[in-house]
Structure 1
Amino acid sequence: MRYFFLLLSALICLFVIEPALAQRPATYTTNNKKAIKAYEASENYLVRRQWEQVISLLEDAVARDGDFLEARVRLATAYRALGNQQRAVAHLEAAANPKKGSPAPEALFALGEMYWQLGRYQEAQEKLQAYLATNPRQKPLLAAANDMIKGTEFAIEQTKNPLPFDPKPLPDQINKYVLQYFPVLTVDGRTLIFTRREGLSPAYDEDIMAANLGDAGQWGEPYSLSDAINTQTNEGTSTISADGRTIIFTSCQGRRSYGSCDLFISTRTGNTWSEPLNLGANVNTREWESQPALSADGRTLYFVSTRPGGKGGMDIWVSQRTDDGKWTESQNLGAPVNTRGDEISPFIHANGRTLYFSSNGHLGMGGYDLYMAEQQENSWQEPRNLGYPINTNKDQVSLFVSADGTQGYYAHEEKQGDRLVSSKLFTFQLPPEAQVKNRSSYVTGRVYDAQTKKPLGADVQLFNLENQQMEQQVGADSQTGMYYMVLTEGAPYALYVSHPGYLFKSLSFDFGQGNNPKPVQLDVYLDPVKSGMITRLSNIFFDTDKHEIKPMSETELQRVVNFLDQNPEVRIEIAGHTDDVGNASYNQQLSEKRARAVYQWLVNAGVSAQRLRAKGYGQSQPQLPNTSEENRRQNRRIEFKIL
């Protein structure tokens, strides 16, 4: 909230101070000449922001006349600049409630704003309404007063119905530094990344730390993420892809940049992080870029920038990573997320559809509040305040939410007055009102050559079968074969694993709405492209006893077309299989019709009929005994075989 209230303080200074500097008022609220002399002498120190001298002179002035309202208001400004809210409030209360005469309008405004800052919402509302009753002419302050009154009304209602909120600090081995903040986790929740500073002064540099969750559920000791990333200067505010293999972080010194703080990227192969690279001119500018948030597959980046062209001082921007590894020109996220205020600390949930962020420009409890917005097609829904007491009158500036949407992580700052003394990492159970609409989990494992059993750095793609769109794309680690892919409820998915020279594997996951996804451990073995190799087409769908191909099968069929285009010498047999339910002759005919339907679709898509053969096997080649419905489902299938 400090940005918002400093802005209001600046407006107050413009309202109160500049007229005094340009042309002193004809009359003061005091006739005490020595008090007036002290007040006017404070002006020279005021313009140089020498607050101690300002306070010394003005305390003398109000000691001579306690109803010297101009001196009271200016004293409050000075005390606020030094972080002494208690003294600032005391002088504003005296100016807003003089023993004689009318209250100072500017004192009513400033006191209402400070009450709001302190969470004294009813009193804030009363003072701001009293300020409006003076018929002020300063449009910026008039607009700010009306906005704050709306905020107090919202806050009062929120406090009547508090959400369950019971935050717990992470263990001492994590919270071992003076400052630790901006926590993020990998999608499996087993690696925690955060920024730490070992002291309060700028002499202590920021580093990016990591900690691993052991099999017993205990966090291990934090360690420096990498010597390739951490230097003698500051590295901080990072984001990591779901698989923990791509990190983007902020660096403000020591690396070649475009101006102020820039964003850098590093990737991990095996256990080694690459030398960080600047994300380039499509992301970084001469202005300040920081607070990155990377989508689960590492292909969409949200971040904060002060560059021109936004809606406020700090806005959220977005860039996409193309197939060649370059980043597209950044676009302002626009309304309704960005406002004339500041939007900071974006976090895109693993589902890729829910954005959490902090803002002082939306209706809230005062200062920076946390919000969430859901993406629908190419637009964002109106952001929703996460509610009290997740949000309070204090600043809430960042939040990470687990893949299943139930657990939140954040940094809590401890202050003495306005002075930061420590920050620690906390976690809490998110109330249902603050949880994502679509929960996520993941499928993970390793990709191997089926014959040599050596790891493969395969390409892994996730397609939404309802809209036929690719939602994610990741690469398996070339050294270990390890991959992670996020699965989000709300649709049936096809997962494709491929590598040049190998048959692709297709997997099917039905995570329609209400199907709570669970973690899946699945190793994938790819067969080399050679005669006799068979792969199952897991995402070709027919209605019961029908042979017409359902539209959601087109993603799978197009993969077959792409495979044949990439391997022009290959000929394949399309094989249809059924379970043992019903007449064997009928099943034979059904399998032939289904194989023929796939054959015809491929021909219509441009594949030469000379490269295809369709054959039905009925119930004669079950993969599993037909002893259960699940086994029968596995036996009902379409395969293709290399001829």
Structure 2
Amino acid sequence: MKKFTLYFVSLSILFSWGCSSTFKTARKKYDRGEFNTAIGVFEKAMKEGNSKNAGRINFYIGECYRLSNRIWEAEPYYTQALQAGFTENDVIFHHAYALKANGRYEEASAKFQQYFTSGGDLNKRRRAKEEIEIIKNLAPLLEEHEYIKVTNCEALNSSNSEYAPVFYQDRLVFTSNRDAEKVYEATGTGFTDLFYYNIQDQDLCNGTVERFNEFINLPEFHEASPTFSHNGKTMIFARSNSGKKKEEYQEVNLYISRLEDDEWSEPEVLPISAKDAWDGCPAISADGKTLYFASNRPGGYGGLDIWRATKNSRGQWARVSNLGSKVNTSGNEMFPFVSRDAKLYFASDGHPGIGGLDIFVATRKSGKINIENMGKPYNSPADDFALTFKDPKTGFFSSNRNSATAKGDDDIYYFVDETPELKKVNYYLAGTAYEEKEVENELLSNVALALINDLGERIDSTYSDSVGRYRFEPKLLMGVTYTIVAEKDSFLVQEVEYPTAGKEVDQKDLTEPETDIVLESEVHLAKDIFRGIETGKMFTLENIYYDYDKFDIRTDAAKELDKLVTFLKSNPDIRIELGSHTDSRERTRGYNIRLSKKRAKAAVDYIVSKGINPDRIEAKGYGATLPVVEDAITEEEHQLNRRTTIFILDDGEALPEEE
């Protein structure tokens, strides 16, 4: 499982005793994390006649395999270490996991029991006890799902490692160390890069493989586990450091790149990356508002945990938080993926599982999180991870399972769920149209409404009735984000996104062979306050005020600026100047000009964060040079002077498209 070559540093186990120079050389390589190279040197030390230290040497060879994530290969060396009388450094505990990784569950349980009885590490004793209970209850997980068919993608896989598949534009992008020029000493394999797989026709395991992008793939760096925004213009992926001590970031971190003029921009470290922690396995949610990733940063529950960041109003990833103890354990949780129906899939070796990493699904119902092992054939005694869906019934995942069709270390497998549909559900969308009012919104009739699918296609049109009600007739696809476009004379055009992810009814809750479900959405239209504005004339935006001596966008101001955003989106050829004005109290002319410039810039930044091209809007600070109320005295009069204005610069020049 070479995905962990992006993962962790070696553990140094210190001891002092007389031994050969070859063994000392092997230990140095081991301590530097050069595990694959160290294996050969340890084996040489054994051949040189270190038979009296055979137990210790075999233990270290086993550790090299374990720490380079090939624990199933460590098992015979742990066995020989124990047979030679070596019982130090929790070898019994590691031997138990190696046995489990090879599907030898009864023997593994016996070793876990032995460690639980006599082991010295309290945390490992607790894990051993948990594993004993897990193995007792493995039977349901070992039952094959009758309707799940799994196929090795032989045309995609090589004798090297392929893993972490993700869809991008009709392509399957994945990680591999094939064709690498440099060898990574920890595993003896090449550095990982990103590749893509051109899927052809209906045979999802028939196609051609090409390198993803040479600007993204750098020599002597690992690149892995990409994720893409819904519009395909943003990519986030994991990249290792170069190993140089002077680097600011000393671990694996998240990088972001944007598609500009059909070229990917130079990747930059995502600011939410922790400088001294491992951050990888990113996954953007279907609605684009949440980024999930794995990290061993402080504040977790042990090993790697799954964390999330949310996108703020400026389009930046922020507010990082841990998913909590229902999802995360003292083991490792990684490779998250959020399906269109809002289920979180992830890999874990801490939850009850069949072997190493197993694939789990987390669902939320009535505020409670349920974690379920997906069982066979998704999981095996080996590592199974990085599941992704192409549609609700088909997808891919990664595994280093010992199967007849396995081609290398990690392979990518295709799955199809042929479970027959037991009950049919038809989903429809209906709702109510309102006119926005300061005190209470009013029902709005005769609103023209259109339903747009995620491909930008208009699939239905209707009008609101006398009490503001409307209904679209086409059946909805679940996991798709639709857009409702609402229009009425003298009102601003309103667009409302309606994601269906997470709104699917559980089959277990259905009682009829066929059920109609009507989902609800509201649209709120505001009066077109910009109607009749002429080029070259200044217009005051009402209710956009600032606190005294401040330039922050208040909540009430943001609501009004949203109307300007709607106006600009509906009139894509218009360019405006946004002006900010201050009152004149106790400040110099220069200070007021500077303050008004800050206010104007804050308003423009807010508008740009909503998707308006910055070329369409200019910020200008007028200070107190154009007061509405001359010689203002009351606070109300001063606040009227602290206003925001717009000035139409032109309305005919061709401009770039909005994002």
Give the TM-score of the pair, scaled to structure 2: 0.55
Of the three residues 303, 307, 329, the one matched with 2:319 is 329
C-alpha separation in 2, matches of 1:60 and 1:260: 38
Matching residue of 1:194: 174
Relative distance call for 1:177 and 1:393 in structure 2 (3 A) is closer
Q: Does 1:366 align with 2:349?
A: no
Of the three residues 250, 253, 266, the one matched with 1:262 is 253
Of the three residues 164, 168, 193, the one matched with 1:207 is 193
**One-letter identity of the residue aligned with 1:358:** A
Of the three residues 261, 272, 290, the one matched with 2:280 is 290
**One-letter identity of the residue aligned with 1:445:** L
C-alpha separation in 2, matches of 1:52 and 1:492: 58
Q: Does 1:489 align with 2:478?
A: yes
Matching residue of 2:394: 407
Matching residue of 1:153: 136
Q: CA deviation at 1:183?
A: 0.7
Matching residue of 2:80: 91
Relative distance call for 1:359 and 1:488 in structure 2 (3 A) is farther
Aligned pairs for 1:41-56 (under 5 A) are 51-52=42-43, 55=46
Secondary structure of 1:91's counterpart equals helix
Relative distance call for 1:239 and 1:55 in structure 2 (3 A) is same
C-alpha separation in 1, matches of 2:83 and 2:97: 15
Matching residue of 1:341: 331
**One-letter identity of the residue aligned with 1:362:** H
C-alpha separation in 1, matches of 2:500 and 2:340: 18
**One-letter identity of the residue aligned with 1:51:** F
Relative distance call for 1:415 and 1:320 in structure 2 (3 A) is same
C-alpha separation in 2, matches of 1:81 and 1:159: 28
C-alpha separation in 2, matches of 1:3 and 1:234: 10
**Is 2:63–2:74's contact at 8 Å kept on the other side of the alignment?**
no
**Is 2:238–2:252's contact at 8 Å kept on the other side of the alignment?**
yes
Secondary structure of 1:166's counterpart equals strand
**The structure with more radius of gyration:** 1
**Is 2:282–2:293's contact at 8 Å kept on the other side of the alignment?**
yes
C-alpha separation in 2, matches of 1:360 and 1:240: 26
C-alpha separation in 2, matches of 1:235 and 1:105: 33
Matching residue of 2:309: 319
Of the three residues 162, 180, 184, the one matched with 1:180 is 162
Corresponding pairs, count:
445
C-alpha separation in 1, matches of 2:388 and 2:114: 40
C-alpha separation in 2, matches of 1:321 and 1:396: 30
CA RMSD of aligned residues (A): 5.2
**Is 2:149–2:417's contact at 8 Å kept on the other side of the alignment?**
no
Aligned pairs for 1:416-427 (under 5 A) are 421-427=408-414
Secondary structure of 2:225's counterpart equals strand
Secondary structure of 1:122's counterpart equals helix
Of the three residues 165, 170, 190, the one matched with 2:153 is 170
Secondary structure of 1:330's counterpart equals strand
Relative distance call for 1:354 and 1:432 in structure 2 (3 A) is farther
Q: Does 1:229 align with 2:216?
A: yes
Of the three residues 437, 443, 463, the one matched with 2:453 is 443
Matching residue of 1:240: 228
Q: CA deviation at 1:108?
A: 5.9
Secondary structure of 2:149's counterpart equals coil
Matching residue of 2:238: 250
**Is 2:195–2:209's contact at 8 Å kept on the other side of the alignment?**
yes
Secondary structure of 1:181's counterpart equals strand
Q: Does 1:139 align with 2:129?
A: no
**Is 1:239–1:249's contact at 8 Å kept on the other side of the alignment?**
yes
C-alpha separation in 2, matches of 1:507 and 1:269: 25
5+ residue gaps in structure 2? 31-40, 66-72, 429-451, 459-474, 508-517, 534-558, 561-659
Relative distance call for 1:137 and 1:323 in structure 2 (3 A) is closer
C-alpha separation in 2, matches of 1:487 and 1:59: 70
C-alpha separation in 2, matches of 1:383 and 1:251: 30
C-alpha separation in 2, matches of 1:393 and 1:276: 37
C-alpha separation in 1, matches of 2:354 and 2:338: 23
Secondary structure of 1:357's counterpart equals strand
Secondary structure of 1:397's counterpart equals strand
Deviation sequence 1:34-82 (CA, Å, 0-9, x none)? xxx99x9999889766734764588633xxxxxxxxx775454134135
Matching residue of 1:602: none
Matching residue of 1:124: 108
**Is 2:359–2:373's contact at 8 Å kept on the other side of the alignment?**
yes
Of the three residues 302, 312, 325, the one matched with 2:292 is 302
Relative distance call for 1:258 and 1:88 in structure 2 (3 A) is closer
Q: CA deviation at 1:121?
A: 0.7
Deviation sequence 1:498-518 (CA, Å, 0-9, x none)? 9xx9844679999974699xx
C-alpha separation in 2, matches of 1:179 and 1:307: 27
Relative distance call for 1:427 and 1:160 in structure 2 (3 A) is closer
**Is 1:304–1:345's contact at 8 Å kept on the other side of the alignment?**
yes
Secondary structure of 2:277's counterpart equals coil
**Is 2:384–2:400's contact at 8 Å kept on the other side of the alignment?**
no
5+ residue gaps in structure 1? 23-36, 62-70, 449-485, 517-549, 571-604, 607-643
| Greater Cα shift, 241-250 or 407-416 | 407-416
**Is 1:257–1:278's contact at 8 Å kept on the other side of the alignment?**
no
C-alpha separation in 2, matches of 1:113 and 1:303: 26
Secondary structure of 1:408's counterpart equals strand
Relative distance call for 1:58 and 1:367 in structure 2 (3 A) is farther
**Is 1:283–1:329's contact at 8 Å kept on the other side of the alignment?**
no
Relative distance call for 1:431 and 1:369 in structure 2 (3 A) is farther
Q: Does 1:391 align with 2:379?
A: yes
Deviation sequence 1:517-554 (CA, Å, 0-9, x none)? xxxxxxxxxxxxxxxxxxxxxxxxxxxxxxxxx9956x
**Is 1:260–1:287's contact at 8 Å kept on the other side of the alignment?**
yes
Q: CA deviation at 1:153?
A: 1.4
Aligned pairs for 1:473-484 (under 5 A) are none
Secondary structure of 1:239's counterpart equals strand
**One-letter identity of the residue aligned with 1:118:** N
Relative distance call for 1:408 and 1:3 in structure 2 (3 A) is closer
Q: CA deviation at 1:191?
A: 2.5
Secondary structure of 1:335's counterpart equals coil
Secondary structure of 2:137's counterpart equals helix
Secondary structure of 1:221's counterpart equals strand
C-alpha separation in 2, matches of 1:157 and 1:92: 34
C-alpha separation in 1, matches of 2:207 and 2:373: 34
Matching residue of 2:51: 60
